[in-house]
Structure 1
């Protein structure tokens, strides 16, 4: 039992706060996309790389961040990550060049956010290992992603309208660097001897899970759902504007997604944590991936704003199953706690690749056909297919 005091719950709070900041910065990139379109007078396809790259880099940072955590510890990685994220956002405020903005906002900020995010993801399961409330603790921490998307969407829109896009990035830089302050709460655990640590390190260095066909099949499903997520996060606001709705209403849709993510992650944690519960994480993932496929039907009849709100709610529920307690539960159940930092890192990298491709391809389709109809079809296909790779392939222990 690693919980001998109330301190682990402060780790949950720290993880929650880091996720609020990281998701608030990266998952409002759809709003930033609209802002850049209006201020830089660039095309949709090339501008789509902004929202795509920052989330891709954030997730793709998972494997190297996992190694850094083993070498330097949670606290150092989180603090350095916050500094890098803040620096990237500050540099973004100084440019009027799209390429430089992609580098500073997409790569630098994304890398810093990814370092802090990796720590936030692995610290809570480690502190609560063996505790009956582990899944609930993970779910509570992961709710920060929904809260961040919810509260940052209107704030980003307000700061932009009131102070301009350059001051917006300065404000975000000040918020991003707070990951460093919060990161100080990630106190290293010292519950094993040197010999035990060496044994654990040997297990973590084992990449045998990559030989598992089920691992690749399930992660193809995660790739497809991330591909679809990237389309929504990158283009939903702009899509709403093409239907005649205001920019504020487009931004509000992201807040609705955030609320849905927050609530569903808590409910998923309760379901996985309940005594005597027979709910497996893989079953929850299959159900909510299926729900995401159903939600795509709404987009084809979404001329009314209320239908867009319903879609945003269902989409948030689907997105909630792509992370948090569900994914941690899947990876721990089938591949073991000792492999969590590597398997979770690979999971983040796969999601990152999906995020990289979705939004730009959607932008190219829109520019080619001058309508969002083929984009909606692409989203429908990817979301509807994703759950099949979990449902039809049994994941086996390594």
Structure 2
């Protein structure tokens, strides 16, 4: 936060010297940068992380479905909030829109008050003795090669996940569609994400034995879904591809906590999930610059091919992490505790020695 505020202060100074805008206008722009780009993103991730942690105390068998329903709001927001923002901006202006949206976000405080706190025995003990730095950042998780491969795959997938949000509207406008029609690609992507999260969450809770295989099938679909977009100009086909990718991406993001529980245990979920969310932010940050560099070097149609190649690499990493056996520590040899007992002497008596004497 301090580094970002310092950077904003430097930008303020540069804007004062290079532009004719007043200090109040430039200060308002700086407040927008801090409020929208920094604090809102931190708050959003805190809400998502806390929601997942709360759900694990209430559900066990139907935990995947609970995660799907909890995170399905991301896709619903993609579909419903863009026209809602337009309506607010036209009706109440910019400042009124920000005020109403902030009031909507404050409802999370009300809903959080409705949850009853549940604590396990390990959580109660940790609260009694306090938390140390090792409890907050458990670096021993990286000793597991399956965990390392899984979170690496999650990082790479987020690099690919950021690409369609920028290049699908660009593809639509380059093909000849209007700006409003091209924006519908993101809308159907969000709709597919909501539906996919809930349906796959229900299926994971209902049929847990096929969850891994179904997850890998979804990963294959996400790999191939955007490849036709590079070679087509059909509006309906691009819509279908966007919907399939949105559904698959929503499923993958929703199932991350469930598979982390299987890899590292439910007690280590906060540490593992913090790593996953950190990678999600890093992937979203560097995904677009990497795709832009690839497009400039190879060609304009290579953005979706880049997404396909990256998702294929993620498929390999996820498959290895979910099916490779984890190395178990060797059982230590237990030394002999009891002293050795000497063997008893055995005497063999033959029949000739015990029978009657010969005549």
Shared fold, TM over 0.5: yes
Q: Which residue of 2 aligns with 1:331?
A: 260
The reply to whether residue 243 of structure 1 matches residue 175 of structure 2 is yes
1: CA distance between counterparts of 2:308 and 2:36? 29
Deviation of the 1:94 alpha carbon? 8.7
Supply the distance in 1 between the matched residues of 2:110 and 2:129 (Cα, whole angstroms).
32
Question: Which residue, 79, 82, 87 being the options, matches 1:153?
Answer: 82
Compared CA separation, residues 161 and 220, structure 1 to 2 (3 A) = farther
TM-aligned CA deviation for residue 246 of structure 1: 2.3
Q: Deviations over 1:313-368 (max 9, x none)?
A: 111122123222x21220111110000111111111112111111123344566x4
Shift in Å, 1:120:
1.3
Aligned residue for 1:118? 49
Residues 271 and 279 in structure 1, CA contact (< 8 A), matched pair in contact too? no
Q: Cα RMSD between the aligned structures?
A: 3.2
**Aligned-residue offset at 1:377:** 3.0
Q: In the TM superposition, what is the alpha-carbon distance from 1:126 to its structure 2 partner?
A: 1.9
Structure 2 CA distance for partners of 1:323 and 1:244, relative to 1, 3 Å:
same
Partner of 1:180, secondary structure, is: helix
The whole-number CA distance in structure 2 between the counterparts of 1:172 and 1:188 is 28
Q: Distance in 2 between matches of 1:248 and 1:94?
A: 31
Residues 286 and 391 of structure 1 are in contact (CA less than 8 Å); yes or no, is this contact kept in structure 2?
yes
Instruction: Provide the C-alpha distance between the structure 2 equivalents of 1:348 and 1:397, rounded to a whole number of angstroms.
Output: 26
Of 104, 111, 127, the match for 2:35 = 104
Pick closer, same or farther for the CA change 1:100–1:371 going to 2, 3 Å.
farther
Q: How does 1:192-207 map to 2 (within 5 A)?
A: 192=121, 194-195=124-125, 197=127, 205=136, 206-207=138-139
Per-residue deviation, residues 282-309 of structure 1 (Å, max 9, x unmatched): 4333222221110122211331211121
1:214-259 Cα offsets, whole Å, 9 max, x none, are 1121222111211111111234233322322223223322221122
- The equivalent residue for 1:284 is 214
Provide the C-alpha distance between the structure 1 equivalents of 2:284 and 2:209, rounded to a whole number of angstroms.
32
Q: Which has the larger radius of gyration?
A: 2
What SS is found at the alignment partner of 2:209? coil
8 Å CA contact retained: 1:94, 1:166: no
Q: Is the 8 A contact 2:147 2:264 kept in 1?
A: no
Task: Please say if 1:143 is aligned against 2:75.
Answer: no
Give the corresponding residue for 2:106: 177
Q: Does the Cα contact within 8 Å between 2:227 and 2:304 map onto a contact in 1?
A: no
Between 156-165 and 144-153, report the one with greater CA deviation. 156-165
Gap change, CA 1:194 and 1:113, over 3 Å in 2:
closer
Indicate which of 224, 239, 250 corresponds to 1:294.
224
Q: Normalising by the residue count of structure 1, what TM-score does the alignment of the two structures yield?
A: 0.66
Q: State the SS of the aligned residue for 1:381.
A: helix
1:207 to partner: Cα distance: 3.4
Deviations 1:35-82 (A, max 9, x none): xxxxxxxxxxxxxxxxxxxxxxxxxxxxxxxxxxxxxxxxxxxxxxxx
Structure 1 residue 358 and structure 2 residue 290: aligned? no
Q: How many residues align?
A: 299
1:160-197 CA-partner distances (Å, limit 9, x unpaired): 56666665544433333332333322332245484375
Structure 1: distance between partners of 2:51 and 2:195: 19
Change (3 A) 1:392 1:229: same
- In structure 2, relative to structure 1, the CA distance for the partners of 1:355 and 1:199 (3 Å cut) is same
Residue in 2 that maps onto 1:272: 204
Gap runs ≥5 in structure 1? 1-92
Distance 1:299 1:102 in 2: 34
Q: Verify: 1:373 aligned to 2:301, yes or no.
A: yes
Query: Alignment partner of 1:245: what SS?
Result: coil
Structure 2: which 5+ residue stretches go unaligned? 1-24, 329-359
Partner of 2:143: 211
TM-score w.r.t. the length of structure 2 is: 0.72
2:163 aligns with 231
- Give the 3-state SS of the residue equivalent to 1:300 in structure 2: helix
Alpha-carbon shift at residue 100 of structure 1 (Å)? 6.2
Match of 2:238 in 1: 308
1-structure distance, mates of 2:304, 2:195 = 26
